[in-house]
Chains A and B, each alone.
Chain A
């Protein structure tokens, strides 16, 4: 970005529109989009279920921890008694093989852990990623070099090894969900940072940013008023991808014993123990994986919708899966 660019309008890229008509406009556009409404509703239901987990399980009269030896067939590997994984009036979604723990209770309680940890970690990842990416893009050449290399290292680091190392030094009394958020958040921000840096470098060259700067705005104000709103679309889209991958990461960490401690349920933990049962008790595998699938899908669709709502100009060109209908219509 040079002064020359500013003095000769039209030499650079066309000016990107600012935040379109504020939050209310975004909201209106989102509401008009069925996919956004449906995915939003699904997520809202999931969130509510997670929040109201103790209430819901009280309603069913179950809790996620009690073993029911009488509900599993001990002689045949501990498979649930009865059909459909032991579904009954008391156990709405059946019971876990081997232990007889109530699956519905474990799923809704597991949603708390999975969603909370994934959301917390995503927020942290985005916060660190945006800060580092902006600093790299707007700072001196030296700062950019150093921060970009650090980012490269973070992206290349074998995450699981580091996470295991971290847990050996952290005391056992430290709350696990918080530890998970911190570990996942502080180790996995490289991608966001790269996206933000690249986007910020492009934006920096655009006229409206230069105008703000020349108009005497201080860097912080430029970032806040000009850059961040334009960064929102890619960042939110990226966060929508990060969130489900964080749910999966929580699962693998739990599997290695550095996730939440048993008997606390989480979707990841349920999945890792359920995999061998896919033929004998399909429901046990299907329930957590279906939930995970629905959550990931809902987040992705909603993320996409939010991005297009934030940036209507891009909507027609980039929206996932719309082109075909358009040409046909």
Chain B
């Protein structure tokens, strides 16, 4: 039945296509009324209304406050930045490309100075020109305490960034940041404390969005931020629970080769349960036929369901994002101070049961490296403690024996009680595979929020726990430095360097590579560094997640880049 309908649909589409090709459109009357072209078959066209169904609300819709990777997804419809991610599917999507600027920036003085030139003729939504002063003001605002939320890199890297309080501060403090210069209306210069090769990646974040000083309303700016992108905000309800966007007439296609902006309006509805989102997308009734989601993945059960339905399967896009789920050790807790114990656990881990516990091979790929398996990160394959698919108990026992645990060992594994990537099923899978090597694992579950606090707790993270890490942009620095750079160990607050690795040689390598402006050369060295650190068994990489995104039945031009792993709504068409 299902197959027959599908066949009929295909036949109908073909007929219409042939008729149109033959220039006989006028005679095709009866067919084209009921034959809707299937997704992806026809050329995407302008017009229509796109609905976005999300679970997380688009709160704090202010370019200074958003923590985005590559300019974000919904934000990048309204905010343009100096550079942005390449809007292409797969690996090509991990590249950084110019956006407001004419190029990726010109480094000088050993990559401590970055100069950008804006394109000619850029305009805000009110028709006024976008100048370099607006970009500088946008960056400055992000330093204000009341507009917190962005990534910490600007504060760490810009000269004077650590003491600057933002443009609103009255009193002694300076109102402007001198390390950003605007010699003319189209040129902007950033002066940094150290060499930063990754600056073009950083310039993709929404903090590099131009903000006209005259229209800045401080914390209220998020209600109606001035658009530089293809859409402007019509209404923002309940702090981003619903965001209605329509075309920005002053945005020019000619000056933006990245955003396609096919639909006329975009309606972002959020605060929905992920099961509801996927159900609505699969049913695709009414407006939901023109709907996508930018934050919801298909779960294991939904995947099993969709696997039985070919027409639904055709509507699923697969995405990757630089992410690694791993076991972290805190070597301050015994017996994890002993490399032999950590090696034994690395040998014993059965990755295929861990992967099945999070939804199987469609949702996760086994990981033996800490860096994600993408070229942009400098992925260099290594497997220092080969465990195969189901673990290698013999090697694990050997390592344990060497470490002085002849009769096995009892350890505690801390996990979240919420089902999912860090939940009880994964923990039990690990317990199972370690048991084969004579390691008795006691499970300690913590409620979700408590667990998240405990994971990054500077002085009390558990000895062994399940965790994960993703990158702010697809390169080695933001992926490795917070986890393994000794100078990023935090005494109180959130510490990501759980292994407390503080190796002068490694630290030096971090400094050297992060100064390279040749991103390909840098990537190679990040890969080598990852492999070198991996020898110490400070983490047990488990898997890299894979994302399965369902879209409504009318959606066309689905582009999922490896930078974000979600479909890019600037590319989506509903007609």
Contacts and interface: CB of A to CB of B under 8 A. Distances in A.
Interface of A: 65-67, 69, 72-79, 97-100, 164, 172, 255-258, 261-263, 272-273, 276-281
A77 B432 contact: no
A72 B303 CA distance: 13
B550 to A, nearest CB: 13
B446 interface: yes
A263 B300 contact: no
Closest 7 CB pairs between A and B?
A: A257-B417, A77-B303, A79-B304, A77-B300, A280-B304, A262-B424, A76-B307
A interface majority secondary structure: loop
Given A98-B300, A99-B428, A77 B360 contact: yes
A278 B419 CA distance: 16
Given A69-B353, A262-B425, A273-B425, A78 B304 contact: yes
A148 B419 CA distance: 40
A67 to B, nearest CB: 5
A9 B352 CA distance: 80
Contact of A98 (B302, B425, B432, B445): B425
B424 A99 contact: no
A97 B429 CA distance: 13
Interface string B346-372: 000010110111111111000000000
A279 B444 CA distance: 32
Given A75-B361, A77-B362, A99-B429, A172 B304 contact: no
A281 B300 CA distance: 11
B443 interface: yes
B428 A262 contact: yes
A65 B71 CA distance: 45
A100 B356 contact: yes
Contacts of A278: 301
Contact of A74 (B302, B305, B352, B445): B352
Contacts of B427: 262
10 contacts: A65-B428, A69-B350, A75-B360, A77-B302, A98-B358, A98-B425, A99-B353, A263-B432, A263-B443, A279-B301
**Which of B300, B416, B418 is packed against the most chain A CB atoms within 10 Å?**
B300
A67 B351 CA distance: 12
Interface in B399-444: 416-419, 424-425, 427-429, 431-432, 443-444
Given A65-B432, A77-B362, A99 B307 contact: no
Given A263-B428, A276-B301, 9 more contacts: A74-B352, A74-B360, A75-B362, A77-B300, A98-B360, A100-B356, A263-B443, A281-B301, A281-B304
Contact of A72 (B356, B390, B443): B356
Interface residues of B, number: 38
A250 to B, nearest CB: 14
B304 A262 contact: no
B445 A262 contact: yes
Interface in B163-188: none
Contacts of B350: 67, 69
Contacts of B390: 69
**Which of A66, A258, A277 is packed against the most chain B CB atoms within 10 Å?**
A277
Contacts of A72: 356, 360
**Which of B356, B427, B447 is packed against the most chain A CB atoms within 10 Å?**
B356
**Which of B304, B355, B418, B429 is packed against the most chain A CB atoms within 10 Å?**
B304
A277 B360 CA distance: 14
A252 to B, nearest CB: 12
A67 B360 contact: no
Given A69-B356, A99-B357, A77 B299 contact: yes
B305 A78 contact: no
B275 interface: yes
A74 B431 CA distance: 20
Contacts of A258: 417, 447
A76 B304 contact: yes
A77 B304 contact: yes
Nearest to A254: B417
Contacts of B299: 77, 276
Contacts of A98: 300, 356-360, 425
A104 to B, nearest CB: 18
A279 B353 CA distance: 23
Contacts of B307: 75-77, 79
